[in-house]
């Protein structure tokens, strides 16, 4: 599995704001929006393009656009905070949704919502979830996508734990991972350490 760590200074400064426990929800969401823009920019660097003819006010020239704008799939809840910025950079994209909640004791994901196109053959997919901890949630989500024919999936995270990266690697699914950092590990509640806490709660408040 290809793993890209976006260690650009501007990305790292947004990540630092998100890690800081003093950052309030509004500032946390703002940092996540900006960081997502940078992650999407890096993730699409190698996307296939097509060319077409346009006229500038001065002369004809060759234009460029994405050959296939990806389907965006935010994983609810926390991935919702990445959806707007991703769609702003990829305005021709459409969006699907997967709702997953991690069981507090087993740490396995429970699916409560799924709204995806039936056929994902030949469609690149960008999955949005700030946290890759044990990897259970993203593995589950990516299996739903491959069952529908997806063969080109890029997972966009803010933070990953080594265990999550290994689980996705072992899954054998056709994935690429783009993240702003790979942290030390997980604590006994399967929270990423040092991490940033619970990305859903920090954006939207505790449930
Ligand atoms: C968090 C996070 C990921 C998942 C990561 O979501 O946003 O989806 O946990 O953990 P994993 O890699 O161990 O599966 P959570 O279940 O807390 O739901 P939320 O987004 O609604 O807060």
The reported pTM is 0.96
d(CA 131, ligand 1 centre) in Å: 6
Return the domain boundaries, the chain: 2-204
Q: Determine if ligand 1 sits within 6 Å of the CB of residue 81.
A: no
Q: Residue with the nearest Cα to atom 22 of ligand 1?
A: 200
- pLDDT of the chain, 207 residues: tens digit per residue: 999 999 999 999 999 999 999 999 999 999 999 999 999 999 999 999 999 999 999 999 999 999 999 999 999 999 999 999 999 999 999 999 999 998 888 989 999 999 999 999 999 999 999 999 999 999 999 999 999 999 999 999 999 999 999 999 999 999 999 999 999 999 999 999 999 999 999 999 876
27 closest CA partner among 39, 16, 41, 12: 16
Q: How much is the ipTM here?
A: 0.97
Q: Determine the topology of domain 2-204 in CATH.
A: Rossmann fold (3.40.50)
Task: Find the 138 Cα to ligand 1 centroid distance in Å.
Answer: 9
């Amino acid at each position: 599995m290809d793993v890209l760590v976006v260690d650009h200074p501007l990305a790292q400064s947004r990540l630092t704001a998100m890690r800081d426990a003093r950052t309030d929800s509004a500032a946390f969401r703002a940092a996540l929006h900006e960081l997502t823009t940078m992650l999407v920019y890096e993730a699409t660097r190698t996307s296939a393009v097509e060319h077409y003819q346009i006229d500038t006010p001065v002369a004809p020239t060759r234009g460029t656009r994405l050959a296939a704008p990806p389907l965006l799939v935010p994983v609810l809840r926390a991935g919702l905070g990445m959806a707007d910025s991703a769609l702003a950079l990829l305005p021709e994209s459409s969006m699907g949704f997967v709702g997953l909640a991690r069981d507090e004791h087993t740490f396995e994901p429970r699916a409560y919502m799924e709204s995806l196109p039936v056929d994902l053959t030949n469609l690149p997919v960008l999955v949005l979830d700030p946290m890759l901890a044990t990897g259970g949630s993203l593995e589950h989500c990516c299996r739903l996508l491959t069952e529908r024919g997806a063969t080109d999936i890029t997972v966009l995270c803010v933070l990953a734990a080594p265990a999550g990266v290994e689980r996705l690697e072992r899954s054998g699914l056709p994935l690429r991972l783009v993240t702003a950092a790979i942290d030390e590990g997980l604590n006994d509640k399967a929270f990423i350490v040092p991490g940033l806490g619970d990305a859903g709660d920090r954006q939207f408040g505790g449930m």
